[in-house]
Structure 1
Amino acid sequence: MEETSMQSFETWNTWTLYLAFGLAGVSLLILLGHIIKLAATSDSKTKYDYINRSEINILMTCSVLLILAGGFFANSTITEINIMWLFVRVFVTVSMGLIFGVIIQNLLKFYYPFYIEKRLKRLRYKPRVSPKTGKPMKLLSEEEEDVYLDEGMQAEENIFSIDYDVWVDEETGYTKIEKYAGHLHALQCPECNYQTFRVSREEILQAPSVEAEGELMKHYECGYCGYKAKKTFKIAMLESQKTESTATA
């Protein structure tokens, strides 16, 4: 009976050790794949979208796998066990896993966005290279880019739902238009200083017309401390209609 019990412990210890190494290996492979994909992606906009869409989720997945690996590794050296000792082991392992999980989640949710926002900003405004000449292209200002945007694109920019960057090769006229979410990233909360201050909803107080600008109100809410604020923005007059009425006159 004692020999069977020892064999059971050895089997348990062996398999938990295998699981620990396996989970840690999968975590490292996922992280390595992420790093390789970033290194292999040369287009700044493609890299921007990938980081913005996937990086935090990938890091969270790797962290969870490492926490599970640590839990199995900590339980791979059992030599004797009873009901009380089993309860204590399970309780301590789960508790430590939850503590580490909450710490990592908070780091990724409240601190990491400061770092990722800087990287995304560098990628967004990194000079694009023209495929026609191989030279850096010019990023147009908000006023200059309207010539290259259709009415729908301009309307999206006017209500701040979408932001477009227009890059132009001044030598050949080649144009590249990149699309970004207007309020995709969280701002720094004025109350708690975490970068968790987001637009919760928008409402148009006054629709723009040919004669007058419109007015938009944005409602902000902090995802961490719950602080709320609102701010009004002007919406440009309807450019195309304004031009038509002027031409007719």
Structure 2
Amino acid sequence: MTDPISPSLLEAWNTYGQYLAYAIAGVGVLILLGHYLKLLTTTDAKSKYDYINMHEINLLWYGFLLILIGASLYANTLRANTTWLWFFVWIFVTLMVSMIVGVVIQNVLKFYYPFFIEKRLKKLRFTPRISPDGRKMKLLSEEEEDVYLDEGMQAEEDAFSVDYDVWVDEVSGYTKIEKYNGRLHALQCSECNYQTLKIDREEVVQEATTTEEGELMKYYTCGYCGHKERKSFSISKLRSEEETTA
């Protein structure tokens, strides 16, 4: 282990190791550039909302991870003369440093970055939509939008699993309905204050009738500290046949 590494072998390792490091880090950079290019070229607010909500954190993690692996590999190709012992010691040290940096990046993306994303998503969701005629559209209230939603859509909203936004051009009458999944968003945990509280399951405690509201219980678990809590929501009364046909 204390014998020096052959200069030709070390030179080959340094050369091809650097090529591999450049390739790995390059893929990471391409992932990040592709992500930001996608954001720049996506003009529709709802499409951008869905893309950020579904992919941004994962793409940032993959990109940074590959860059970190490439940098770690590159750091192990800079030694001109060394022994096998110090070669493996250097690999071990860079591996440990890379793991620490990786854990820090992962925790930032998992526990802090969602606060930033949530602000961007809210801005995208409530940015006024533009009709094909170039006019700003109006976002209807919960009461106003029911006219534009069929019974299935209203049932989804009553169950709090889906939320619909209805935008209307008040001049032409052009309507745009956007669907948002209520289960994808994490809430702020009351124990650790991280935005990592997500729905585990839902339970209908009491079915709604035409005369009484129902009750829906949602059970949440924090992905960081494990805190559990539940919240009760009311389910709107069912419409009677007379109201439906009216």
Q: Give TM-score scaled by structure 2 length.
A: 0.93
What's 2:10 paired with? 9
Q: Distance in 2 between matches of 1:4 and 1:67?
A: 26
Deviations 1:1-37 (A, max 9, x none): x999211111111111222222222222221111111
Identity of aligned residues (%): 58
Contact 1:210–1:241 under 8 Å retained in 2: no
Letter in 1 for 2:58: N
Q: 1:89 to 1:3 in 2, by over 3 A?
A: closer
Secondary structure of the residue aligned to 1:192 is: coil
- Residues 1:206 and 2:211 aligned together: no
- Residues 1:46 and 2:43 aligned together: no
Letter in 2 for 1:184: L
1:92-131 aligned within 5 A? 92-131=93-132
Q: 1:171 to 1:93 in 2, by over 3 A?
A: same
Secondary structure of the residue aligned to 1:220 is: strand
Q: 1:4 to 1:197 in 2, by over 3 A?
A: closer
Q: Distance in 1 between matches of 2:102 and 2:155?
A: 43
Contact 2:46–2:125 under 8 Å retained in 1: yes
What's 1:192 paired with? 192
* Dislocated runs of 4+, deviation >6 Å: none
Deviation, 1:244, is 4.6
1:9-158 aligned within 5 A? 9-131=10-132, 133-158=133-158
Deviations 1:52-79 (A, max 9, x none): 1111111011111111111111101233
Secondary structure of the residue aligned to 1:160 is: coil
Contact 1:151–1:240 under 8 Å retained in 2: no
Contact 2:32–2:59 under 8 Å retained in 1: yes
Q: Distance in 1 between matches of 2:25 and 2:39?
A: 21
Q: Distance in 2 between matches of 1:4 and 1:73?
A: 18
Aligned residues: 244
Secondary structure of the residue aligned to 1:226 is: coil
Q: Give TM-score scaled by structure 1 length.
A: 0.92
Letter in 1 for 2:199: V
Q: Distance in 2 between matches of 1:83 and 1:176?
A: 66
Contact 2:4–2:82 under 8 Å retained in 1: no
Contact 1:210–1:242 under 8 Å retained in 2: no
- Residues 1:168 and 2:197 aligned together: no
Which is worse superposed, 136-145 or 184-193?
Answer: 184-193
Deviations 1:176-205 (A, max 9, x none): 000001232111111111110111111000
Which is worse superposed, 13-22 or 220-229?
Answer: 13-22
> Structure 2: any 5+ residue segments left out of the alignment?
none
Deviations 1:116-171 (A, max 9, x none): 1111110000000010x211000000011011000000000001000000000111
What's 2:178 paired with? 178
Q: Distance in 1 between matches of 2:174 and 2:219?
A: 38
Which is worse superposed, 207-216 or 91-100?
Answer: 91-100
